[in-house]
Amino acid sequence: MKGKVALITGSATGLGKMTALSLARQGCSIVINYVNSKNEAEALSREIESFGVKSIVVKANIADESELYSLVDQTERELGTVDILVNNAGPFIRERRLFSEYSRDEIVHMVNGNLTGVMLLDHRVLPAMREKRWGRIIHFGFGHAGEARAWPQRAAYAAAKVGLVSFTKSLAVEEAPYGITVNMICPGDIRGANKEKTIDEVAGIHDGMTPRGRSGSGEDIARVIEYLCMDKSDFITGNIMDISGGLDPIRPLIKPE
């Protein structure tokens, strides 16, 4: 992947940061995108450049159409066209609420940030990927999103992500002849500091909600994305991949007696 340009949305912290570090170690130039975490983004950029690769920092809200286009425009001016697009950013309201309790603006923001913005960003980078006959696009979902089940009190978020499941599969088929793969990663419930930890760092942390028995880490997610972006991973496309330790976010864990 040396010399490839990787754009990772929401990459100043958390899972996006771990993905950026992973791809930078493989020789990719990295676009770090943020909305509020400017200091963290700039610090990460310096760390990435210490690997001997290029990095730029761009503020942009993916839920805003004009800002997502500016993000790609600046990337092309400073680093070149996008080879790898990781759509990590997406708004989520942790508080559980009925759909009727959401405001109109919250619904629109949830759908724009998790579905419409992702589609438009993909649409913007596809022409250059097609011209090079090479590209990697990664979407983010939630555990078991591919089953399109009901998720009460998460209706707007779940609807957007399940729509993205169908789009992932459709786009994968359409773009396969051009050497472009499209896959979705569905992380488990990885929270807080664990998003920026390695597998070794969480190995001893018990998680009673996850069947595997340990907490998930940022490395669990980043290493799968890194693999999907490799040149010889071109036969893997249109997949919805749960990286969750067996966790089902909707149904309760059935514990052994």
Model confidence band, residue 253 (pLDDT cutoffs 50, 70, 90): low
**pLDDT reported for residue 77:** 98
pLDDT of residue 205 exceeding 90, the answer is no
**pLDDT reported for residue 102:** 95
The domains located in the chain, with CATH, are 5-243 (3.40.50.720)
By mean pLDDT, which of 19-28, 48-57, 196-205 is the weakest? Answer: 196-205
Across all residues in the chain, what is the average pLDDT? 94
Rounded-to-integer distance, Cα 157 and Cα 119, Å: 15
Residues sharing a CB contact under 8 Å with residue 71, sequence separation 6 or more, in sequence order: 7, 9, 31, 33, 58, 60, 62, 121
**pLDDT reported for residue 41:** 97
Q: Where are the alpha helices (DSSP H) in the chain?
A: 14-25, 38-49, 65-78, 104-111, 117-132, 155-175, 199-202, 218-229
Cα–Cα–Cα angle for 157, 87, 143, rounded to 5 degrees: 45
**What distances in angstroms separate CA 45 from CA 83, 136, 171, 212, one per listed residue?**
19, 22, 31, 34
pLDDT over 90 percentage in the chain: 84
Predicted TM-score (pTM) of the model is 0.94
The answer to whether the beta carbons of residues 5 and 84 sit under 8 Å apart is yes
Model confidence band, residue 213 (pLDDT cutoffs 50, 70, 90): confident
Model confidence band, residue 115 (pLDDT cutoffs 50, 70, 90): very high
Instruction: Compute the average pLDDT of residues 153-162.
Output: 95
Q: Minimal CA–CA distance to 137: which of 188, 182, 202?
A: 182
**pLDDT reported for residue 210:** 85
Instruction: Compute the average pLDDT of residues 3-24.
Output: 97
pLDDT of residue 168 exceeding 60, the answer is yes
Cα–Cα–Cα angle for 9, 128, 184, rounded to 5 degrees: 40
**pLDDT reported for residue 208:** 80
- Tokens 């979705």 appear where? 184
**pLDDT reported for residue 252:** 57
Instruction: Compute the average pLDDT of residues 5-26.
Output: 97
Q: Minimal CA–CA distance to 76: which of 128, 150, 138, 140?
A: 128
pLDDT of residue 116 exceeding 60, the answer is yes
**pLDDT reported for residue 255:** 55
The answer to whether the beta carbons of residues 65 and 120 sit under 8 Å apart is yes
Rounded-to-integer distance, Cα 2 and Cα 22, Å: 12
pLDDT of residue 254 exceeding 60, the answer is no
3-state helix, strand, coil in the chain (%, to 5): 45, 15, 40
Q: pLDDT, tens digit, for every residue of 177-188?
A: 999 999 999 998
Model confidence band, residue 257 (pLDDT cutoffs 50, 70, 90): low
Model confidence band, residue 247 (pLDDT cutoffs 50, 70, 90): confident
Instruction: Compute the average pLDDT of residues 54-65.
Output: 96
The answer to whether the beta carbons of residues 148 and 165 sit under 8 Å apart is yes
